[in-house]
Amino acid sequence: MKTRVGLNDFVARYSGEEFAIIFTEKATEEIFEILERIRWQISQSKYEELNKQSVTISIGFSEYRPGTSKETLFSGADQSLYKAKMTGKNKTDIHTAPLKEAK
C-alpha cells in the first residue's frame, strides 16, 4: 500500500486486519483509482503461506468534507467497509458525506 500512495499520505494498521490510509491533496476520483489499483494488485498476488492462493480485500472509503470530524470520517469509512463486505466483498465502496448547509 505504501508504494501506491504519495509522500504526504499516511498508511497505518488501524486494528487487527484493518488498515487506514489518509490521503492528502487528492481528489475523490484519484483516490478511488488508487484504492482500486491496490485492491486489484492484492487480489492478483499469490501467497506461499496460503499454498499459492490469492486473497481479496474490501475497502471502505469516506470522503472528507470541510468541517467533518474525525469520528464522522471514520464512521463513514466503517459503514462503507461493512457495505462492501455485505454486498459481495472484493470491492471498494465510497461513503459520501452530505454537504453542510451554509448558515
Over pLDDT 90: what percentage of the chain? 71
Binned at pLDDT 50, 70 and 90, residue 100 comes out as low
Over pLDDT 70: what percentage of the chain? 93
| End-to-end C-alpha distance for the chain, whole angstroms | 40
Binned at pLDDT 50, 70 and 90, residue 1 comes out as confident
The CB density around residue 58, as the number of other CB atoms within 10 Å, is: 19
3-state secondary structure of 24: coil
Which residues sit opposite 20 in a β-bridge? 12
Binned at pLDDT 50, 70 and 90, residue 102 comes out as very low
Q: What is the pLDDT of residues 26-69, one digit of tens each?
A: 999 999 999 999 999 999 999 999 999 999 999 999 998 888 89
Which residues sit opposite 22 in a β-bridge? 10
